[in-house]
Structure 1
Amino acid sequence: MALFDLPLAELRAYLPHRAEPEDFEAFWHATLSAAAEHDLATEFTPYDALLPRVHVHDVRFSGSGGQRVAGWFLTPAEVAGPLPCVVQFIGYGGGRGRPHEWLLWPAAGYAVFVMDSRGQGDGDTVDLPGSDSPQHGGVLTRGVLDPEQYYYRRLFTDAVRAVDAAASHPEVDGSRIIVAGASQGGGIAQAVAGLHAQVRGALIDLPFLTHFRRATEITDAHPYQELADFCATHRDRVEQVFHTLSYFDGVHFAARASAPALYSVALMDDVCPPSTVFAAYNHYAGPKELQIWPYNGHEGGATFQPPIHLRWLRDLLAA
């Protein structure tokens, strides 16, 4: 795809008004307080992934509503802790996958805690009691008429709890926890950076779930097209939809974050349009850097991005 969004000079200055609900803070305080009433009850069960130089654990912890959330926890076998830990979140439609997919971080000397996405991926974590099968797509509009019932209220709460679950392991240095992800995972990492004071840094690549209204107006790519299709069908509920989404917009979380962040954006990305990423980046309240990929779409930096992550984290954690 060719360039389709604002010119780069305008993107750098793009600072849209934040249409934030008055009770945003109260909503999230109540949400996280309700979750905290449930014991994390984190279980780390050794798992034979046939990777002798990596210790692998299957994880279960209590997320939103006390529901059990799956994950993986990997540490390098030959590096003594306590270790910095990357809490990794997953893209839209995906789940925690298999342990061998997450070897980058232990190879670099970090622990990694990979959180499953409820109701997505392989179905290791159900969304709500009684829903025993995963689905691909569609969760973007699940419960979108009510902030209390919206899917991402549960998923973001799981993600905040995942930081606590990772910090509970004796091999993890709780003062050096990094949240990371791309696309949906980047949107989740961005939200957690704004909600959890313990986060030391954030790797936010091509974040989804950000500047919703503009996204639905300038791209017809999925997943944002799910919202546009919903609004096209429910013509009389459009403002209700965007009122709900205002509690989950990454721009509002970015404005509350204080941890250093490394963002990336691709200027030909029609899935997470550049202006939506710049809207959050320009509002981000903590120290920040931005990696721009001018000729790429939603693949972003692909294999070029991890070395940038590793160098940035090395410098951050050495400071």
Structure 2
Amino acid sequence: MKTYHDRLKELETYTGMGEKPADFTDYWKDALEELDRINPDVSLQKAEFQGTHTECFHLYFTGVNGSRIHAQYLRPKNISHPIPALLQFHGYRWNAGDWCEKMAYTDMGFAIASMDCRGQGGLSEDLGSVRGTTVTGHVIRGITDTKEKLLYRQIFLDTALLARILMRFEEIDAEKLGVFGTSQGGGLAIACAALTPEIKKAAPCSPFLSDYQGACCHQECQGAYLELWDYFRILDPCHEQEQDFFRQLQYIDIRNLAPWVKADVLWGIGLEDKACPPSTQFAAYNALTSDKKMIIYPEYGHEPFPGFQDKMMQFMTELL
């Protein structure tokens, strides 16, 4: 039986499976140029929920393919000078959650925007049609169409556009942005930081969206990566299109985006995670070149980690 230290030694050198496409940089350069041409048509609508010391708004903007994207936006009342802002991203298929959950951040002096991912459980639209299957999940949406139709390309761009919008708000200090999230939210935090070099702090926890081919090799893998298995079971049972399938996914793999991250990174991981196996997370973490720290919970899986939220809050308050 391997010890904790044996496992860790292997993980610290793991870089994932498959190769970054030769046109990966051009792919995302073109995507960001597409973002430059979008008029986001930002709308702020006062929310039905308000805090004693916090203003709450529905923030809407237009993203790729004309979809209207929704985020909760909260800021302290009576702002006298530009303040730091945080972007929060939610777990797979879920939504931005309850307003009151963000008030610890506004009480500390942050503004915070929590985005609903398009096509999932919140108020955002998904107007992008694709050819081919959409069976069982969002990772494979667009997989049999052109690589520009991959749904997570659009979601990654939504995160970057939201960051740009916040940086234009007069109450926000554009030089003091942080991003965070858990599971899918953790993966989106890395993607957002990679596509938005102005971001100074990133705190992913148990991130999804990394090393898809490696994830498929885990017999014990559970959760969202199972949709990759479902794809093969239903549509390619003999893996005749396996090479093309995983080549497409390389474009939306955060381990390939990780080297672009300029932010300081605080990363939470459980070594018993079956939903987002530790190897998939280390594949992205090991690709980071910015200042980084990983907090490891050896006996924990895909679940909340004791003390991590406090550590993350302390990490972000360095922006204040």
Normalized against structure 1, the TM-score is what?
Answer: 0.90
Q: By how many angstroms is 1:104 displaced?
A: 2.5
Going from structure 1 to structure 2, the CA distance change for 1:17 and 1:243 (only over 3 Å counts) comes to: closer
1:5/1:273 contact within 8 Å kept: no
Question: Which piece of structure 1 moves more, 22-31 or 2-11?
Answer: 2-11
Matched, 1:249 2:250: no
Going from structure 1 to structure 2, the CA distance change for 1:29 and 1:269 (only over 3 Å counts) comes to: same
In 2: Cα distance, 1:92 partner to 1:224 partner: 11
Question: Partner of 2:278 in structure 1?
Answer: 274
Match among 304, 308, 320 for residue 305 of structure 1: 308
| Unmatched tracts of structure 2, length 5 or more | none
AA of the residue aligned to 2:84: P
Root mean square deviation of aligned Cα: 2.4
Question: Partner of 1:184 in structure 2?
Answer: 184
2:265/2:290 contact within 8 Å kept: yes
In 2: Cα distance, 1:119 partner to 1:3 partner: 41
Match among 253, 256, 262 for residue 258 of structure 1: 262
Question: Which piece of structure 1 moves more, 135-144 or 234-243?
Answer: 135-144
In 1: Cα distance, 2:300 partner to 2:316 partner: 24
In 2: Cα distance, 1:92 partner to 1:220 partner: 16
Residue pairs, 1:223-242, within 5 angstroms: 223-233=224-234, 234=236, 235-242=239-246
In 2: Cα distance, 1:20 partner to 1:36 partner: 25
Question: Partner of 1:104 in structure 2?
Answer: 104
In 2: Cα distance, 1:149 partner to 1:136 partner: 15
Going from structure 1 to structure 2, the CA distance change for 1:6 and 1:30 (only over 3 Å counts) comes to: farther
Going from structure 1 to structure 2, the CA distance change for 1:6 and 1:243 (only over 3 Å counts) comes to: farther
Q: By how many angstroms is 1:16 displaced?
A: 4.2
Q: By how many angstroms is 1:253 displaced?
A: 0.8
Identity %: 29
Q: By how many angstroms is 1:13 displaced?
A: 2.8
AA of the residue aligned to 2:152: Y
Aligned-partner SS, 1:55: strand
Going from structure 1 to structure 2, the CA distance change for 1:279 and 1:6 (only over 3 Å counts) comes to: farther
Question: Partner of 1:20 in structure 2?
Answer: 20
Aligned-partner SS, 1:225: helix
Aligned-partner SS, 1:101: helix
In 1: Cα distance, 2:240 partner to 2:99 partner: 45
2:13/2:286 contact within 8 Å kept: yes
Residue pairs, 1:181-220, within 5 angstroms: 181-218=181-218, 219-220=220-221
In 2: Cα distance, 1:5 partner to 1:35 partner: 44
Residue pairs, 1:57-96, within 5 angstroms: 57-77=57-77, 80-96=80-96
In 2: Cα distance, 1:118 partner to 1:215 partner: 24
Normalized against structure 2, the TM-score is what?
Answer: 0.90
> What is the total number of aligned residue pairs between the two structures?
311
| Unmatched tracts of structure 1, length 5 or more | none
Question: Which piece of structure 1 moves more, 177-186 or 135-144?
Answer: 135-144
Going from structure 1 to structure 2, the CA distance change for 1:129 and 1:281 (only over 3 Å counts) comes to: closer
In 2: Cα distance, 1:42 partner to 1:4 partner: 49
Aligned-partner SS, 1:255: helix
Deviations 1:174-214 (A, max 9, x none): 11011111110111111121111211111111110001111
Question: Which piece of structure 1 moves more, 199-208 or 92-101?
Answer: 92-101
Going from structure 1 to structure 2, the CA distance change for 1:83 and 1:263 (only over 3 Å counts) comes to: same
Aligned-partner SS, 1:140: coil
Q: By how many angstroms is 1:9 displaced?
A: 2.1
1:92/1:137 contact within 8 Å kept: no
AA of the residue aligned to 2:161: R
Residue pairs, 1:120-131, within 5 angstroms: 120-122=120-122, 124-128=123-127
In 1: Cα distance, 2:160 partner to 2:291 partner: 21
In 1: Cα distance, 2:140 partner to 2:15 partner: 26
Q: By how many angstroms is 1:149 displaced?
A: 1.3
AA of the residue aligned to 1:71: A
